[in-house]
Chain A
Amino acid sequence: MIKLFICLFLITQVQANETGVTGSVRSPKECKGPVMVWLSLDKDNYNERLLLMHTEVPVQGSFQFYLKPGAYQLRASNEQGCDFEKKITVGDKVLHHIVRLVNK
Chain B
Amino acid sequence: MKHLIFIIFSSITSQVMASAMIDCPSHQMRVYMPNLGQTCVTQMQVQQNPYIMNCFQQTNFYPNFFSSFPSAIFRPYPQPWWVTQGNIYYPNVNYPGAWNYPGIQQQLYPGDGEVFAAKPNVYVDSIHLNKEFEFKFTSKEKMSFLATTPVKENDTWKGILVEKDKFEVRDRFVTDDVRYDYLFYDIRLPKDKMQFDQGVCTTREEAINWMIKDLKEMNYSAIAVQDFDEHWQAKIPKEYPFYCIYPQYNAQLDEALPVSISTPQTSFTRTLYIVRPHATAPSVTMTHEIPFPRRDPASYRPATKIKREIMFREWGVAFLGF
**Interface, chain A (partner B; CB < 8 A):** 17, 19-20, 22, 24, 36, 38-41, 45-58, 60-68, 75, 77, 79-81, 96, 104
Residues of chain B in range 85-134 having any CB-CB distance to chain A below 8 Å: 85-86, 89-93, 95, 97-98, 108-111
Q: How far is the CB of B15 from chain A (nearest CB, A)?
A: 27
Task: Name the B residues within 8 Å of A61 (CB-CB).
Answer: 149-150, 178, 180
Q: Mark B140-177, 1 if CB is under 8 A from A, else 0.
A: 00101111111110000000000000000001011010
A-B CB contact pairs (8 Å), 11 listed: A39-B147, A41-B108, A50-B49, A52-B108, A57-B150, A58-B178, A60-B178, A65-B146, A66-B145, A77-B85, A104-B35
| CB <8 Å contact, B151 and A63 | yes
The answer to whether A53 and B90 touch (CB under 8 A), given A62-B171, A66-B111, is no
Which of the 9-residue segments B40-48, B205-213, B236-244, B278-286 touches chain A?
Answer: B40-48
| CB <8 Å contact, B178 and A50 | no
**Interface, chain B (partner A; CB < 8 A):** 33-35, 41-42, 44-46, 48-49, 51-52, 81-82, 85-86, 89-93, 95, 97-98, 108-111, 142, 144-152, 171, 173-174, 176, 178-180, 184, 186
Q: How far is the CB of B159 from chain A (nearest CB, A)?
A: 12
Task: Name the A residues within 8 Å of B92 (CB-CB).
Answer: 50-51
| CB <8 Å contact, B91 and A47 | yes
Q: How far is the CA of A13 from the CA of B259 in the complex (A)?
A: 23
A49 is contacted by which of B90, B142, B174 (Cβ under 8 Å)? B90
The answer to whether A49 and B110 touch (CB under 8 A), given A57-B149, A62-B150, A66-B146, is no
Task: Name the B residues within 8 Å of A19 (CB-CB).
Answer: 110
| CB <8 Å contact, A65 and B176 | no
Minimum CB distance partner of A75 in chain B: B89
Q: How far is the CB of B167 from chain A (nearest CB, A)?
A: 10
| CB <8 Å contact, B151 and A22 | yes
Minimum CB distance partner of A79 in chain B: B81
| CB <8 Å contact, A62 and B149 | yes
Q: How far is the CA of A41 from the CA of B201 in the complex (A)?
A: 33
| CB <8 Å contact, B174 and A47 | no
The answer to whether A52 and B148 touch (CB under 8 A), given A17-B142, A38-B90, A58-B179, is no
Q: How far is the CA of A73 from the CA of B293 in the complex (A)?
A: 39
Q: How far is the CB of A23 from chain B (nearest CB, A)?
A: 8
Q: How far is the CA of A22 from the CA of B171 in the complex (A)?
A: 11
Task: Name the B residues within 8 Å of A65 (CB-CB).
Answer: 146-147
Q: How far is the CB of A104 from chain B (nearest CB, A)?
A: 7
B184 is contacted by which of A48, A55, A77 (Cβ under 8 Å)? A55
| CB <8 Å contact, B82 and A68 | no
Minimum CB distance partner of B42 in chain A: A46
| CB <8 Å contact, B45 and A47 | yes
Q: How far is the CA of A48 from the CA of B91 in the complex (A)?
A: 8
Q: How far is the CB of A31 from chain B (nearest CB, A)?
A: 12
Q: How far is the CA of A91 from the CA of B51 in the complex (A)?
A: 23
Q: How far is the CA of A47 from the CA of B45 in the complex (A)?
A: 6
Task: Name the A residues within 8 Å of B174 (CB-CB).
Answer: 24, 60, 62
| CB <8 Å contact, A53 and B34 | no
Q: How far is the CA of A53 from the CA of B90 in the complex (A)?
A: 11
Q: How far is the CA of A68 from the CA of B186 in the complex (A)?
A: 15
Minimum CB distance partner of B47 in chain A: A47
